[in-house]
Structure 1
């Protein structure tokens, strides 16, 4: 790793160098590594069906500036329960460490950047939250901005934090910034960790004291901050090598299963990194190797859907058609149930949209309105109707989704675009849309658990 080393006295040095942003689409060594045979437990990477698709939708991420941390934090902000939604469902049962590391360098105020609510849409700034709300409660309610501030204030102010609490609070801070689309800011703050593979982070049992989820997140953030996407791919393979050692060294079936799941997750993350750096062909071949390494037909179905989406994004419509057919899946079409085939049904109208056949695609989307993919179908049906000149029906469909408490980024952005095309007072309509979404999230707080509350102006094209 070319990340900064952590000195023996516990201080963190700055990054040794930063690579320039360059294109890696023709780098043969990386492509050659990703086109080897199917990956299994003995190979560093394997797939996961719980990680997001290989083409992540990134929202705009303005860099914000925070108020001074509150002094009303509790001595243990992580109690009474651990924050849900930002950590794996289970942890590796490791033996207790005999000695404790000096992690005071991770709590220095200079490690953290200031953020503010300037770019957060006004209706979401006023979302109420009691001053004494605990960190787990903030995370459950989707108040990631306030959670990021509370994590920093706890790190700086509380003097009796344990080693575990320091690392957990640091992870919450970086994860919240990422969820708020402040990834560049999170990348700068992640440099305080230095080299996450350093022997400094090993305890007396030769186990890494850093939480697994923090290590995985730090790999991506430090690679983005260095401007070197290849470094992120290499970091995932380094973590995979560590995971394989845990599998081979454990006789507990539950522990082995946990590390196998982490290997699958790393496999998908490596493919995501290839797509993120713009090497779509290498990403496609990487995911293709994962198809043969999975053990269930459903996992193969998900992976083949991702490959089809990559081919569609690359403009290779013929290969997209091939991957939408069941004969490319393990066991053939006869081994796939109707719910699994439905995941491929959504690719057919997308393929027609790519070919400019919006009328045919609209008919296919209408047939899926009663399926489990009804929200996706209605959203894309509205897009097809927009391209065929049915602006009023487009607006009606998108408004229905908002009224049903759906407020994902693509929906609000598309509806704001419709306002711009249909009225001269689009700014007023977009402001009203932001207020409706904010009110809906507040009224349905129980159903919207874990959803991001703070929405930026970019979400509504303001």
Structure 2
């Protein structure tokens, strides 16, 4: 092979692809294939036999729809842990907390992820049928994702082990060989498996295995929308590998890996190539390689101009270069141009803090708490400013916690905030 497992370009030139021109020997081999020896097909919309008659296709679909997969092991109550409480008291005793019996969809929309995780576990244990695997997989996905959203990654990693080995034949359809576990859940389990065993390399290996499946599915796909779906999944696997390298602390490796994604993504001016260049810029900023960061930022700007994103990255380069006054000026200009953008306002507050204008930074962050949904760095930075401004900072943090706990919902983010964010 001359292409890596995460490269999407050139995958349709595979001489073994079903639509490729065939020689006489290949034609003979194709004629020799019979339904008794179906090829290994990983696409969920493909039949195991090339170009089957309509009756056979309909029969296969009916068999797949009537498949009974017993996943009763998912309903074991001991597989799901009681969730520890890490939120400040105002969040624990808020009067506007919905009931855990509320529909899970409403809990998710309102940002009550802890309650959604509890409700999902209860629904899994009390499920009516152990063979309703689509519903049970969906509930398990909600449970694990919500645990990650409330920063309970260790618990999520332990509970993900109840699924066992997702690469086993148990999770494959006996006739079509289609994987029965939703793709998004498989992606999440790969990361949690690495967390659970404390070996990030397991995560990287898992993503490369999924990438191999993506490439096979691209080759076998009959329709262009299906190929586009698997190409997006392949690109996503590549980005997740870079994310795992960052979590491992191998920032330089992540930067080099993202560089291959931006170069091998086909059209250098595509949205995918620009996205990889933006990520690579951030990684090189973390490393401290400002020359590489500027080079990637220039490449991203050539692909497509975005005043907000490109301006933010340029200001971050100034900040990384310890030119705080210039960075503050750049962020102030962006704040005037995009007054509703909370991340720009927060970065401006940080620059003001670095230049000694602590009261201005405090006022800016306090306004953010009142006007926009909270996020981790905003709450943490305002708590730090309180520590710099007053000895009664604990009271100020408690007031902020009460204010945030009084919200009716999360405003698009998690409603509950942990005590660590308030530095309590």
Q: Given the alignment, which residue of 82, 87, 90 partners 1:123?
A: 90
1:287 aligns with 2:287: no
Name the residue aligned to 1:57.
none
Q: Given the alignment, which residue of 392, 402, 407 partners 2:369?
A: 402
Q: TM-score, normalised by structure 1?
A: 0.75
Contact 1:203 1:209 in 2 (8 A): yes
Q: CA RMSD in A?
A: 2.4
1:458 aligns with 2:420: yes
Contact 2:375 2:413 in 1 (8 A): no
CA distance in structure 1 between the aligned counterparts of 2:103 and 2:9, rounded to whole angstroms: 40
1:350 aligns with 2:316: yes
Deviation (angstroms), 1:243:
1.9
Deviation (angstroms), 1:208:
1.0
Name the residue aligned to 1:28.
none
Name the residue aligned to 1:156.
125
CA distance in structure 1 between the aligned counterparts of 2:145 and 2:304, rounded to whole angstroms: 36
1:175 aligns with 2:145: yes
Name the residue aligned to 2:169.
199
CA distance in structure 2 between the aligned counterparts of 1:43 and 1:122, rounded to whole angstroms: 55
1:138 aligns with 2:111: no
- Count of aligned pairs between the two proteins: 370
Name the residue aligned to 1:304.
277
CA distance in structure 1 between the aligned counterparts of 2:74 and 2:281, rounded to whole angstroms: 43
Contact 1:246 1:259 in 2 (8 A): yes
- Select between 451-460 and 248-257 the one with higher mean Cα deviation: 248-257
Deviation (angstroms), 1:130:
3.4
1:322 aligns with 2:295: yes
Name the residue aligned to 2:230.
259
CA offsets per residue over residues 314-347 of structure 1, 9 Å max, x none? Answer: 111222222222xx34xx73x533xx25422212
Q: Given the alignment, which residue of 208, 211, 215 partners 1:244?
A: 215
1:402–1:249 distance in 2 versus 1, CA, 3 Å: same
Q: Given the alignment, which residue of 390, 394, 397 partners 1:427?
A: 394
Deviation (angstroms), 1:370:
2.9
Name the residue aligned to 2:333.
367
Name the residue aligned to 2:73.
105
Q: Given the alignment, which residue of 286, 303, 309 partners 1:313?
A: 286
1:402–1:215 distance in 2 versus 1, CA, 3 Å: same
1:405–1:336 distance in 2 versus 1, CA, 3 Å: closer
Deviation (angstroms), 1:124:
2.2
Contact 1:302 1:343 in 2 (8 A): no
Deviation (angstroms), 1:245:
2.1
Mind listing any 5+ residue stretches in structure 1 that lack a counterpart?
1-32, 45-90
CA distance in structure 1 between the aligned counterparts of 2:397 and 2:342, rounded to whole angstroms: 21
1:430–1:210 distance in 2 versus 1, CA, 3 Å: same
Q: Given the alignment, which residue of 201, 204, 211 partners 1:230?
A: 201
Name the residue aligned to 1:165.
135
CA distance in structure 1 between the aligned counterparts of 2:308 and 2:172, rounded to whole angstroms: 46
CA offsets per residue over residues 340-369 of structure 1, 9 Å max, x none? Answer: 254222122222222222112111111111
Secondary structure, aligned partner of 2:421: helix
CA distance in structure 1 between the aligned counterparts of 2:192 and 2:258, rounded to whole angstroms: 22
1:273 aligns with 2:244: yes
Deviation (angstroms), 1:157:
2.0
1:218 aligns with 2:218: no
Bigger helix fraction? 2
Name the residue aligned to 1:188.
158
Deviation (angstroms), 1:433:
0.5
Contact 2:6 2:211 in 1 (8 A): no
Contact 2:91 2:416 in 1 (8 A): yes
